[in-house]
Amino acid sequence: MDSTTMGFIGAGNMANSLIRGLIAKNSPADSIWASDLDTAKLDSLQAECGIRVGSNAEIAAQAEVIVLAVKPQVMPQVCQALAKELADRSVLLISIAAGITTAHLQSWFGKNAAIVRCMPNTPALVGMGATGLFATSQVSSQQKLLAEDVLSAVGFVAWVAKETDIDSVTAVSGSGPAYFFLFMEAMQDTAKKMGLSDKLARELTYHTAAGAAALAQHSTEDIATLRRNVTSPGGTTEQAIQQFENDDLRELVDKALQAARKRSVELAAETDNT
């Protein structure tokens, strides 16, 4: 990435990961600014990464790209104050706050603001994130590339055509890591019941999950074919799969994701009422 000046409003885990990912991909540290009420976070980032730290006002005066990385409940007041500092400056605004729509952001920054709304997930902390992005019509092609550069520093990125698709992205990948953690937790618990040590149950589960994901990503075959390939007729895998199917795992997954999507929509409505 070039020396585009970027500012992070908020320096929590996701912002921290993005900053470190950008620097690892050769973004100049002195082109990155961060602000946060927690000065310890800023001191750590500055000492370890060499970035610049300052106030929201300083970021508004300097940055060409501003990443809004504060908690959703404080977004209204942070954005309203930042909008005054920006005045007539044209910048790209990237929001990673759940439940904050582009309509909310436009109400604070104005209808002509260039806004990208993102839904990253926690594997970004280890450079393996998955992020869905939506851009308003005011975002230029060059600004879309900038947004891609920022989020791809910590993993896979994909654009969605409709903002409502962000609610589905939230249900699939935003919340998704927790689904896999739950399944892995259940596998570990049963492995220990069957006599394996805690350490071996944990390691077998982690490596199996990572291996299955890697195989799915690198295979030319679809995931259903991969499942059938490992399910020998009359074998142990077939017995387990039949149990999942008999207990309607697919319907349970559908209900869970639909519930997550519904809650994403509700969060946006709750922001409307604040």
Whether 169 contacts 132, CB under 8 Å: yes
Measured in Å, how far apart are the chain's first and last C-alpha atoms? Answer: 38
Nearest alpha carbon to residue 165 among 101, 73, 121, 69: 101
Mean pLDDT for each consecutive 10-residue tract of the chain (274 residues)? 88 93 92 95 94 95 95 93 90 94 95 96 94 97 95 96 96 97 98 98 98 97 97 97 97 98 91 72
236/76 Cα distance (integer angstroms): 54
CA atoms within a 13 Å half-sphere pointing along the CA-CB vector of 78 = 23
The pTM (predicted TM-score) of the whole model is: 0.91
Alpha-carbon distances, residue 99 vs 24, 28, 76, 78, 198 (angstroms): 30, 32, 12, 15, 38
In this structure, which amino acid lies at residue 41?
Answer: K
Nearest alpha carbon to residue 227 among 245, 253, 202: 245
Nearest alpha carbon to residue 17 among 150, 148, 115, 166: 150
Q: Where are the beta strands (DSSP E) in 59-216?
A: 65-68, 92-95, 114-119, 129-135, 155-159
Give pLDDT, residue 1.
Answer: 58
Query: Beta strand pairing status for 129-135 and 114-119?
Result: antiparallel
Q: Would the CA dihedral through 9, 33, 12, 265 be positive or negative?
A: positive
Give pLDDT, residue 274.
Answer: 63
70/74 Cα distance (integer angstroms): 7
Nearest alpha carbon to residue 138 among 156, 168, 117, 120: 117
42/61 Cα distance (integer angstroms): 19
Domains of the chain: 6-161 (3.40.50.720), 176-266 (1.10.3730.10)
Distance, C-alpha 59 to centroid of its chain: 23
Quickly count: other Cβ atoms within 10 Å of residue 113's Cβ. 21
**Sole residue written with tokens 């199996």:** 208
| The pair of three-digit structure tokens given for residue 75, joined into one six-digit string | 């977004």
125/16 Cα distance (integer angstroms): 8
Give pLDDT, residue 87.
Answer: 82
